[in-house]
Structure 1
Amino acid sequence: MSTFGREYRVTTYGESHCKSVGCIIDGVPPGLALSEEDIQVQLTRRRPGQSALTTPRNEKDRVTIQSGCEFGYTLGTPICLTVANQDHRPRDYSETDLYPRPSHADYTYLQKYGVKASSGGGRSSARETIGRVAAGAVAEKYLSEAHGVEIVAFVSSVGGIEMAQMAEGSGGMGGEAFQQLLGSVTRAQVDGNAVRCPDEEAAQRMQEEILECSREKNSTGGTVTCVIRNAPAGLGEPCFDKLEAQLAHAMMSIPATKGFEVGSGFSGTRMQGSEHNDAFEADGQGGLRTRTNHSGGIQGGISNGQSIFFRVAFKPPATISQDQQTATYEGASGVLAARGRHDPCVVPRAVPIVEAMAAIVLMDAVLQQNGRAATRGVLAPVPAHLKGIKPV
């Protein structure tokens, strides 16, 4: 399917080398001030050709709002966003007429549909994520204005190089150093270097690792960590649409992803319950907060008002420029001499994509919860004891 979401519905369209890519968004509330520049900021962060660490494909990725807005405000009707493909070179992919590229989607798409795009991976290309980033930028603007939500993603590892704040000796994702980083990191800090890692020392080593892979015509993987601050409590639907389940669905739909963990994640399996449990305390504003946040801001599949954080694993890009011993579609052995332009590591450009999908999930959850609250609000108040309030 090419549509994601229930109340905030995003449908992306386009292939790597067709005339344009983009999306249609249904469910945007009316009256939101929205311009193309609001969207362009994130598309520019995603675009290729940003540095020596990315593919040299030269796409400006300028967005055009086709519908759903008048005089700078949303109408509540479907919004169509388009981005033209300009620097596409189908001839770079002539070898794929004979060979399915190792670990790419050429073979599986052919098995599924009985036909495949002739170049560039078609819908499996990362060009498809342009529509996601555009839709995420719209969602993020609403979330920021309506709830003060902040979403920041950053590169936390490349190959075997990891940020110091995430090392086991520092307590990992549950450690104090990492939690302080999650509470303060900004996009300006993240964009302070080409790798998009806020740890300058680690970023330098990551950059060297990526450049070395590029020189060797090879690729490497890494992880992106994302934090959502000021998310309202009560978001998420039991039982199958838990908030972390929706986030996992969204993140694992991004090309090249191979893993997802929220909160303490896999490191939490090495802890005991007495250490892992997030005890409650008064927040000083008539509510509760947790002293720790091993849950990653989600308990029982529902947001608890604390920062939501998670990590996404990206594999090494499948397209490399080395000759690879493989087989033709007919099964004959041969050598694929790959051409084309590709990223030696996708994680620096994946940062705004992760942010976009987080915004889309949260926007969908907010609209669902707003609908529930509105319908409940016209009924008589429920008795106090049903809300956990002890009668005086």
Structure 2
Amino acid sequence: MGNSFGKLFKITTFGESHGPALGVILEGCPAGLSIDESFIQSEMQRRKPGQSKITTQRKEEDEIEILSGVFEGKSTGTPIGIVIRNADQKSKDYSHIADKFRPSHADFTYFEKYGIRDYRGGGRSSARETAARVAAGAIAKLLLQEKGISVQAFVSQVGSLKLEKAYQELDLNKTEDNIVRCPDPETAERMIELIDSVRKDRDTIGGVITCVIKNTPPGLGEPVFDRLHAELGKAMLSINAVKGFEYGSGFDGVSMRGSQHNDAFVKEGDQIRTTSNHSGGIQGGISNGEDIYFRVAFKPVATIMQDQDSVNEAGEAVTVSGKGRHDPCVVPRAVPIVEAMAALVIADYLLLSKSNKLAEI
């Protein structure tokens, strides 16, 4: 069903927001990979709630527990099982919406699909499910590091406030220097002020995350329906609150002429490169060796601390009151989620690429 992602490097996640635990089963990780638990935990810390004044105040340490697939610090080639136990559920915060549909949440659609729903924080539809993805994505990152491939994301827009610099002009290592995860300090301060003002208004705001994948070898991607950018798009659009995905020149490319947009090929040493990168590192659905870069748009968080009109399960008009602990803007905590999903895609296609040539089989 829809709880698994990937072909060879494949994850299946399980658990609910207010259940005992969340977890992931990772299949296809090659044996012999060093599994750095401290690195996985550091990735979890980047996503966890309660980390700053502009995130939800739910307190979860999100400590991982590896149950299988790792022996003496190395992957064994068997399924890796990881659980993340919930510790700070406050299910009573949601008792007031037990039979009410919250605007722009998955309450109504899950009820229509299953005839039953877990109203405690949205259950399986909660963004808390992404904790399991980050754990698996951290292992994907460890695999990519072996090949010199890096995946770095950052907040490039909050509301209408945009980071005007291109990623090539930024030091992406400064992304973690502030709580909004924007590598430009001046823009970051303005973003933090905007999010905090929205929070004080008991409202929410959306934003954009840009992701850059460097040192990807040419040749990753599968024709025709499994193009690399299509899989990246699917990965990003599977993340809660995501409303848009564009790679390379994206929608801005429509205003250019072909003579401006085409990426000319040149020979540099023993490599074929392009003089520009409007293609975003992908041509014909296959990586060309240039930087892969894309943008992901997140809507404003649907839970607001204001009364809203809605209906209940009987179709009667009701008022939904905002309660509980929620992010005023999801993008600061979504940065590691975007990186995790991107890493999972690249790791999967890296393994798939080994079956393309007879010499590599």
State the alpha-carbon separation in 2 of the partners of residues 377 and 325 from structure 1. Answer: 60
Of 313, 323, 328, the match for 2:312:
328
Residue of structure 2 equivalent to 1:120: 121
**CA offset digits 1:110-146 (Å, max 9, x no partner):** 001111113110111111001110110001101111x
How much does 1:35 deviate?
3.2
Residue of structure 2 equivalent to 1:181: 169
- Give 4+ residue runs of structure 1 displaced > 3 Å after superposition: 375-378
Which letter does structure 2 place at the counterpart of 1:360?
L
Q: What TM-score do you get using the length of structure 2 for normalisation?
A: 0.98
Residue of structure 2 equivalent to 1:260: 245
Of 196, 215, 218, the match for 2:181:
196
How much does 1:318 deviate?
0.5
Residue of structure 1 equivalent to 2:22: 21
Residue of structure 2 equivalent to 1:368: 352
Does the CA-based 8 Å contact 1:36-1:64 persist in structure 2? no
Residue of structure 2 equivalent to 1:159: 159
Residues 104 and 377 of structure 1: is their aligned pair in 2 closer, same or farther, counting only changes over 3 Å? closer
How much does 1:247 deviate?
0.1
How much does 1:216 deviate?
1.0
Please list, as runs of the form range in 1=range in 2, the aligned pairs for 1:261-280 lying within 5 A after superposition: 261-280=246-265
Does the CA-based 8 Å contact 2:107-2:119 persist in structure 1? no
State the alpha-carbon separation in 2 of the partners of residues 13 and 157 from structure 1. Answer: 31
State the alpha-carbon separation in 1 of the partners of residues 87 and 168 from structure 2. Answer: 42
The 10-residue stretch of structure 1 (115-124 or 133-142) with the greater mean CA deviation from structure 2 = 115-124
Match of 2:78, SS state, is coil
State the alpha-carbon separation in 1 of the partners of residues 311 and 106 from structure 2. Answer: 15
How much does 1:98 deviate?
2.5
Of 191, 195, 219, the match for 1:206:
191
**CA offset digits 1:310-343 (Å, max 9, x no partner):** 0000000001111112222212222111211100
Aligned residues: 360
How much does 1:372 deviate?
2.4
Match of 1:319, SS state, is coil
How much does 1:181 deviate?
3.1
Residue of structure 1 equivalent to 2:148: 148
Residues 56 and 280 of structure 1: is their aligned pair in 2 closer, same or farther, counting only changes over 3 Å? same
**CA offset digits 1:139-164 (Å, max 9, x no partner):** 1101111x100110000000010012
Residue of structure 2 equivalent to 1:2: 3
Please list, as runs of the form range in 1=range in 2, the aligned pairs for 1:51-66 lying within 5 A after superposition: 51-66=52-67
Which letter does structure 1 place at the counterpart of 2:160?
G
Residue of structure 2 equivalent to 1:130: 131
Does the CA-based 8 Å contact 1:210-1:344 persist in structure 2? yes
Match of 1:164, SS state, is coil
Q: What TM-score do you get using the length of structure 1 for normalisation?
A: 0.90
State the alpha-carbon separation in 1 of the partners of residues 167 and 211 from structure 2. Answer: 12
Where does the alignment leave 5 or more consecutive residues of structure 2 unmatched?
A: none
State the alpha-carbon separation in 2 of the partners of residues 215 and 46 from structure 1. Answer: 23
**CA offset digits 1:342-369 (Å, max 9, x no partner):** 0000000000000000000000000000
State the alpha-carbon separation in 1 of the partners of residues 34 and 360 from structure 2. Answer: 27
State the alpha-carbon separation in 2 of the partners of residues 354 and 244 from structure 1. Answer: 14
How much does 1:179 deviate?
4.7
State the alpha-carbon separation in 2 of the partners of residues 101 and 37 from structure 1. Answer: 38
Residue of structure 1 equivalent to 2:80: 79
State the alpha-carbon separation in 1 of the partners of residues 193 and 312 from structure 2. Answer: 35
Where does the alignment leave 5 or more consecutive residues of structure 1 unmatched?
A: 166-177, 379-392
Match of 2:84, SS state, is strand
State the alpha-carbon separation in 2 of the partners of residues 270 and 49 from structure 1. Answer: 42
Does the CA-based 8 Å contact 1:95-1:338 persist in structure 2? no
State the alpha-carbon separation in 1 of the partners of residues 25 and 15 from structure 2. Answer: 12
Does the CA-based 8 Å contact 2:222-2:285 persist in structure 1? yes
State the alpha-carbon separation in 2 of the partners of residues 125 and 32 from structure 1. Answer: 31
How much does 1:273 deviate?
0.3
Please list, as runs of the form range in 1=range in 2, the aligned pairs for 1:351-390 lying within 5 A after superposition: 351-373=335-357, 375-377=358-360
State the alpha-carbon separation in 2 of the partners of residues 115 and 106 from structure 1. Answer: 10
Q: Is the radius of gyration larger for structure 1 or structure 2?
A: 1
Does the CA-based 8 Å contact 2:263-2:275 persist in structure 1? yes
Of 252, 264, 272, the match for 1:288:
272
Residues 300 and 98 of structure 1: is their aligned pair in 2 closer, same or farther, counting only changes over 3 Å? same
How much does 1:201 deviate?
1.6
How much does 1:84 deviate?
0.5
The 10-residue stretch of structure 1 (319-328 or 77-86) with the greater mean CA deviation from structure 2 = 319-328
State the alpha-carbon separation in 1 of the partners of residues 252 and 55 from structure 2. Answer: 31
Match of 2:212, SS state, is strand
State percent identity of aligned pairs. 52
